[in-house]
Amino acid sequence: MEVGLEAGHGRLSCDSNNLSYQIFSALENNFLFGYDWEKERLPGGKVRILSIDGGGMHGIVAGRTLAYLEEALQKKTGDSEARIADFFDVVIGTGVGGLIAAMLFANDGSGRPLCRAEEVWRLLAEEGSRMFKPTSGGIFAKFRRKGANFSGKSMERVLKRLFSAKDGRSLTLKDTLKPILIPCYDLSSAAPFLFSRADALETDNFDFRLWEICRAAAAVPGFFEPVQLSSVDGQTICTAIDAGLVMSNPTAAAITHVVHHKQEFPLVVGVEDLLVLSVGTGQFDRAYNYEKVRRWGADQWAKPVITIVGDGISDTVDHAISMAFGQSRRNYVRIQSNGFTDKCVGDTDDPSEANVKMLLNFADSVLKQKGMESVPFGGKRKLSLSNAERLEWFADELVCEHRSRLSRPIPTVVLKQATRSH
């Protein structure tokens, strides 16, 4: 069950007032009679989180993964119109993951998601040559390898068209169906900046246009120039680049948001109240021999170093979250290449037809691979289930949670709804 909050009035519905009464009754009983919270845990269900890594054209891998999940949800519910956004409460994405999140959770104007999951990877496959269009200018030109200098203007045209409402205005964070988080790095403050629907609903100072956010999230140093963007009211300005170097796997940020944002997720006490799917974009398996790398110049080291940092951060976050979930680890599923494949993984910045075909083949191979799980203090272990089978299991959990909310007396999330003055 989801309960609306009247924007601008700070007034919860009757269902939410009843929820508050039950929570404080439990706390009062705990104080007076030693109430066993775990034994008598309020039946609030689990908050469902979707996290999507960054990775340029490797977003095709994440897109194919989510398309497989969406198809599984449609089969299990018997509803051909079922969408990813129907089964998750929060989404977060870094870089191209932010673009995917916005496409899946933006409101198409009728209260339904803007795109199907299949349309996500098709956009990258079919529009990649426009989004990653080579050009010759830019302040980073001298650091780029031949053919890797891209035109931000070309990408902007694609994004403006994609995130345009029927009345011609640009969609903003307020035009999303569920809480959405997209991290960037703000050069003007030298700190991460989190674009958040929750903040946008509180004040226009933090409501930004989706196409600008996605363009900023794609600003990888050495490929796209930084982007200066402002909130819709012009009061907040940041100079943004992709947050991949500091948050390539943004799952921890999403969990932190849910645990501390009690207004929308009042019953979340710990990780046992969460159901998390973290989607990787495929490890960039590259083996370089010593004789090759010892002759590299500074410009040739740039891309491998970015790759190493990104993969290292992703694995570290994955391991930390696995440790945090502990006995509830089954509630956390990470879909990522296990590093053992005879398929070429493709390049992150090459929109050519040949590279797209390579990435599609790699995406299919990731689904067939045996899943990997981080073991607390024990590295990783290969599972008996393939990634596709793990997605099937996760789809069952999502459908079960979705159906149980229809009869659950206590709302799992209390979403604040956007209002516009037109």
Q: Phi first, then psi: what are they for 134, rounded to 5°? A: -65, 145
Q: Which residues of 4-17 are buried (b: 16+ CB within 10 A; e: fewer)?
A: ebeeeeeebeeebe
What lies within 8 Å, CB to CB, of 113 at 6+ separation is: 83, 84, 85, 86, 104, 105, 106, 107, 177
Out of 186, 242, 273, 349, the active site residue is: 242
| Maximum Cα interatomic distance, the chain, rounded to a whole number of Å | 73
Q: E-strand spans in 82-189?
A: 90-93, 180-186
Consecutive H or E run containing 213: helix 210-217
What is the per-residue DSSP string for 25-44? HHHHHHHHH---TTTT----
CB 329 within 8 Å of CB 375: no
Give SS3 for 44.
Answer: coil
Which among 259, 266, 204 is positioned nearest to 5, based on CA atoms? 266
Structure tokens at 389: 């089978």
Cα-to-chain-centroid distance, residue 299: 30
242 is catalytic: yes
Residues marked as catalytic: 242
